[in-house]
Amino acid sequence: MSTTSSSSNNNKGALIFLHGLGDTPAGWSSLSSQLPSIQPSLSTSNIEYVFPPAPTIPITINGGTTMSGWFDIFDWPIGVGCKNDEDGLKKAVNDINDCVQKLEAKGIQKDRIVIGGFSQGGAVALRAVYQQPNESNENFAACVNLSGWLTFEESNGVNDNVPLLWGHGSFDDKVLFEQQAYGVAKLGEMGVKSVEDSSYPVGHSAHDEEMVAFAKFLDQTFFPMDDACKD
């Protein structure tokens, strides 16, 4: 697991960010420098960045060829109504829970942890925050889904107040753009109350303006009082 931090304290925040299918933590580890370059408050002295690696598994759409993936993919492109790999999704959420426990052992509280991801990683992030049972009734700080999709029909009812940032490319031909409108609407029906959704003129990739929105969202999540003082 790739982590980036330089100090620890009880007020520190953390971002756990999951890469997409066929990628590695290196594909997104630059966030630990890119986001602070946009919002200095997100420096590694304030935020611990965690980039867990997906396991290597057979992927059905690739004829069973193994590659890094959080769960199996049965349909391509990934549109509304695609088949889910329930067992793989549950294992992926458990991997996130392990990351959360390690951060909590360092003194970073759950309500100071943001779960995010790109594509497959975004799908897992949504599930980890809004669907998995939450017996502790402790909320995450926020959720970030970049070009991912919704894989469940009911929320856990506990984290409905956790804010969500959902960014998606309007020309996405892999995780189809329709997934954003569908997912945002369904989450609203489930009771999720705060969703910030935006689209960008790209395919299945990130956009510079999306990174600016990402940094601003994290800054407002981790340091709301500071932002209020700026106003």
What does the alpha-carbon distance between residue 13 and residue 107 come to, in Å, rounded to a whole number?
10
Per-residue pLDDT tens digits for 4-17: 544 445 689 999 99
**pLDDT at residue 135 tops 90:** no
**pLDDT at residue 227 tops 70:** no
**pLDDT at residue 3 tops 60:** no
**Cα–Cα separations (whole angstroms), residue 26 to 4, 95, 116, 120:** 12, 18, 15, 16
The mean pLDDT value for 100-108 works out to 96
74 phi and psi angles, rounded to 5 deg: -105, -25
DSSP 8-state assignment for residue 62: G
Q: Which amino acid is at 124?
A: V
pLDDT at position 228 is 47
- How many percent of the chain have pLDDT more than 90? 85
pLDDT at position 10 is 64
- Cβ-Cβ contacts under 8 Å for 195 (sequence gap 6 or more): 163, 164, 166, 184, 187, 188
**pLDDT at residue 225 tops 80:** no
What does the alpha-carbon distance between residue 210 and residue 88 come to, in Å, rounded to a whole number?
28
- Residues that are catalytic: 119, 172, 204
Angle at 157 between CA 86 and CA 12, to 5 degrees: 90
**pLDDT at residue 196 tops 50:** yes
Q: Which amino acid is at 197?
A: D
Per-residue pLDDT tens digits for 19-67: 999 999 999 999 999 999 999 999 999 999 999 999 999 999 999 999 9
**pLDDT at residue 200 tops 60:** yes
pLDDT at position 8 is 44
pLDDT at position 226 is 58
The length of the chain, given as a count of residues? 231
Average pLDDT in the chain: 92
pLDDT at position 102 is 97
With a threshold of 0.75, does the pTM exceed it? yes
**Reported confidence tier of residue 159, pLDDT bands at 50, 70, 90:** confident
Burial class (CB in 10 A: 0-12, 13-18, 19+), 127: buried
